[in-house]
Structure 1
Amino acid sequence: MKPIIELQEITVRYNEEELAALNKVSFSINQGEWVALIGHNGSGKSTLAKTINGLILPQEGSVTVGDMPLDEANIWQIRKMVGMVFQNPDNQFVGSTVEDDVAFGLENQGIPREEMLIRVKDALEQVRMSEFSTREPARLSGGQKQRVAIAGVVALRPDIIILDEATSMLDPEGREEVISTIKKIKEQNNLTVLSITHDIDEAANANRVLVMREGELVREGTPAEIFSAGPELIGLGLDLPFPEKLKAALAQRGIDVPKEYLTEEGMVDWLWTSVLNK
């Protein structure tokens, strides 16, 4: 399968005297993949997202998105392919109502009104916000606001969605709302998702996890491969998914726990069949 995103040895420096924000980073992402990018503050995650979207151009290396090299000739076409959802949805709202806000990006692209109405309706249905179409965005909950922000991106019909800490300001319920929404629209539209996150439980939903440290890519693998290396993750300043923390706590109490990585569903099944039914 041909990658939809490919980075080759990219290096980004904000200041010649400082360490590189990104240092010779290489990886690729295939169409339809969900890839999570994790790392502590200052590891280069957000810089990487802005490089893929053309907001930052690397001093060294190359970025290719959908067969197009990232350069001045292709930058606007690439930005049409890549939708970004940021940390604070309030900073993205410009419309007086939910439907006006979702329509804003379409108006900027000169989409005909008839097509725009169809896309706004379809996008709000996909994020389960149709009944709020005439509401003021300010009157929504945090999770609802972020779902509207996602609808604004989905209406533009991108091939790739980048979530830049998009759930970090939400409570657990709002976070689950947003993640379930992304899962649904990813499958409906065969989207490629790059999730930049501090939330390890969010990263566990990905097909693949990339670990950044001080501007370098230091680990890459499936969630099972990455999160089973508990002490190493903690050494990188990262947390562990809840099931792994629970396994460690049970092991300290002398309970024989599975060696393989378990999702939350897997942990519930194991607790029910192996512990609670004994």
Structure 2
Amino acid sequence: MEPVINIEDLSFRYRDAEQDALRHVSMSIQPGEWVAIIGRNGSGKSTLAGNIIGLLEPERGQVTSGHVTVSGLPLDDEHVWDIRDHVGVVFQNPDNQFVGATVADDIAFGMENRAVPREEMHERVAAALTAVNMSDFAEREPARLSGGQKQRVAIAGIVAQAPDIIILDEATSMLDPAGRREVIDLVTQLQHERHMTVLSITHDLSEAARADRIIMLAHGEVADVGTPAEIFTRGHELADNGLDVPYPEQLKAALRGRGIQVPNEYFTEKGLVDYLWTLRSTM
């Protein structure tokens, strides 16, 4: 199967910078896969997202080496708008994406730019609102919504355009824990229903835990690649890259310090609780 996103030896330098923000980055993402890109601030995560969809205009910097292919199309001046038809992006601050006076108007905006027939547009707006459980808010002003509701509307605007790929660029970082879970649960549901490819740019490891695969960036380079279970057991490596060690791994380390044997493999919080109940019953 051909990768839906393919990056080969990509390096990018911002204008007037002394060194590349991305250095020889290579990765492939398969159709329907959820890949999380993690790393501390300044590691190159958002620069990578900008390069995938051509958001970094020449005056901001330049690709110093490498190639990017999205949905079989090379990222260049000739194909950049075709690529954007295949990709939807949800940014950190949804207020920066809103242009409509109402929720329904905002969701319709992207389709208006693509000259989608009006009747079809109404159907797709209604379907997108239903998909994100926001049908009752169609005539509300986006500015009057909560943070989680705003991100749901931003996602609905992307879903209505039916992209093959959705990029979450720190899309949950401004939300409280409940709002984060709500949005990521929604994206998980939509991915399964619509077979979308998800690229999650994040420093939140609870979000990254939903991914099929994690790619860790450090200083603009790929530092590690693996499943969440593989990456999350590398506590020192996570800490060295400015990331929090997941709570189950912290608890396991504390238990080992008290002489209690625990498995090396990664547990979710629920999985660790189940294991400790089993352990208690045998003691």
Question: What whole-Å deviation, never above 9, does each CA across 1:235-261 have from its counterpart, x for those lacking one?
Answer: 122111222122223333333222111
Residue 203 of structure 2 corresponds to residue 176 of structure 1: no
Question: What whole-Å deviation, never above 9, does each CA across 1:173-207 have from its counterpart, x for those lacking one?
Answer: 10000000000111111100000001011101100
Residue of 169, 172, 188 corresponding to 1:167: 172
Q: Say which SS state the counterpart of residue 25 (structure 1) adopts.
A: strand
Question: What whole-Å deviation, never above 9, does each CA across 1:80-119 have from its counterpart, x for those lacking one?
Answer: 1110000011111111211111111111111111010111
Q: Which amino acid aligns with 2:3?
A: P
Contact 1:201-1:242 at 8 Å conserved across structures:
no
TM normalised by structure 1 equals: 0.96
CA drift of 1:17 comes to: 4.9
Q: Which residue is equivalent to 1:251? A: 256
Q: Say which SS state the counterpart of residue 182 (structure 2) adopts.
A: helix
Cα distance change of structure 1 residues 131 and 212 upon mapping to structure 2, 3 Å threshold: same
Q: Which amino acid aligns with 1:26?
A: S
Q: Say which SS state the counterpart of residue 170 (structure 1) adopts.
A: coil
Q: Which amino acid aligns with 1:22?
A: L
Q: Say which SS state the counterpart of residue 83 (structure 1) adopts.
A: strand
Q: Which residue is equivalent to 1:2? A: 2
Q: Which residue is equivalent to 2:141? A: 136
Q: Which amino acid aligns with 2:45?
A: K
Structure 1, unmatched stretches of 5+, are none
Q: Say which SS state the counterpart of residue 210 (structure 2) adopts.
A: coil
CA drift of 1:271 comes to: 2.9
Paired residues for 1:49-198 under 5 Å: 49-56=49-56, 58-198=63-203
TM normalised by structure 2 equals: 0.94
Contact 1:11-1:21 at 8 Å conserved across structures:
yes
Q: Which amino acid aligns with 1:6?
A: N
CA drift of 1:16 comes to: 5.6
Question: What whole-Å deviation, never above 9, does each CA across 1:13-65 have from its counterpart, x for those lacking one?
Answer: 11365110011100000000000000011110000000001113623110001
Q: Which residue is equivalent to 1:233? A: 238
Q: Distance in 2 between matches of 1:30 and 1:230?
A: 28
Q: Distance in 1 between matches of 2:176 and 2:219?
A: 28
Query: Size of the alignment, in residue pairs?
Result: 278
Q: Distance in 1 between matches of 2:131 and 2:229?
A: 30
Q: Distance in 2 between matches of 1:97 and 1:190?
A: 29
Question: What whole-Å deviation, never above 9, does each CA across 1:151-177 have from its counterpart, x for those lacking one?
Answer: 001111110000000000000110000
Q: Which residue is equivalent to 1:45? A: 45
Q: Say which SS state the counterpart of residue 20 (structure 2) adopts.
A: coil
Root-mean-square deviation (CA, aligned residues, Å) is 1.4
Contact 1:204-1:241 at 8 Å conserved across structures:
no
Q: Which amino acid aligns with 2:180?
A: R
